[in-house]
Amino acid sequence: MKRFILSSAPNAEGMVHLYDKDYHYLVRVRRLHEGSLFPAILPDGGEVQVRVLSTVDNILIGECCTSTEGKVIPRAQGIDLPPIALFQGLPKAGKMDTIVRQAAEGGISVVVPFETEYSTGKVSGNASEKLKRWQRIVREARQQSGSSIETEVRAPCTVADLLAYWDELKKTYQRPTAILLHQEPIEQGSFHGYIGNDPDFTVLAVGPEGGFSPSEVLLFVAAGFKPLCMGTTILRVETAALYAAAALRIILLERASWIRKE
């Protein structure tokens, strides 16, 4: 279900005031009017229903409530999955936009674009503008899909910076697991085997067109990444990211049904 993402919390009276692009989206695109109700996500992840009180003077004034009690709806309850991060080698122009959108719709927690030896996209040049665009894409994708996961897109970085970030994650989490997607069967590993230790944070590293260079593979493996080949089919870079993320998420969702009982 579509849910609007509120950039700021309601005031003490439970009221929100929405302007500019937010007003245009809700009033001009969604065709909401006085009396309409729409679901929204608060900055802290909680969920509310917003009743439109007014749309005059290009300002939408809304009241956060439930349909009966006039109170904030508690945070949605669901299956508690460990965060999933996508480390994505910078692909050709435009493809990263698609990957970011699919990651946000698929509940990925963190997306980290990085430059590899085979990347056609580069870290330098309008990096801040790219980041703003990707953040806008995330917001639009979450509103369309209804994802309650606040997907973070980090600024493009180098392989060295990426592995330094991975070192930070290893210190933060108790059982982090990192998987390196590769077109060759470097090891006879599997998704089920790699995440059988019940990870509390999982990373997927996907290369750009052409994959990873041999020297980069050595760096990732030395840093603790587990190589994984997902069959003999050669996937487009944007398809590989979606394919791997979807497979991992389903396996984590159904973990209770497949994990070996001692």
pTM summary value: 0.76
* Higher pLDDT pick, 68 / 104: 104
pLDDT digits (tens, 9 = 90+) for 133-149: 999 999 889 888 878 78
φ, ψ of residue 181 in degrees (nearest 5): -75, 125
Q: Is the pLDDT at 233 greater than 80, yes or no?
A: no
Q: Which residue ranges form the domains of the chain, and what is each CATH number?
A: 4-65 (2.40.240.20), 84-258 (3.40.1280.10)
- Per-residue pLDDT, 66: 57
How many Cα atoms occupy the beta-carbon half-sphere of 88 within 13 Å?
A: 33
- Per-residue pLDDT, 79: 54
pLDDT digits (tens, 9 = 90+) for 163-202: 999 999 999 999 999 999 987 767 677 888 888 878 999 9
Task: Provide the pLDDT confidence category of residue 67 given band limits of 50, 70 and 90.
Answer: very low
60 CB-contact burial (10 Å; exposed 0-12 / middle 13-18 / buried 19+): buried
Structure tokens at 92: 């050709």
Helix (H, G, I), strand (E, B) or coil at 190: coil
Structure tokens at 125: 């040049």
Q: What angle do CA 41, 42, 48 make, to 5 degrees?
A: 60
Interatomic CA distance for residues 128 and 256, integer angstroms:
41
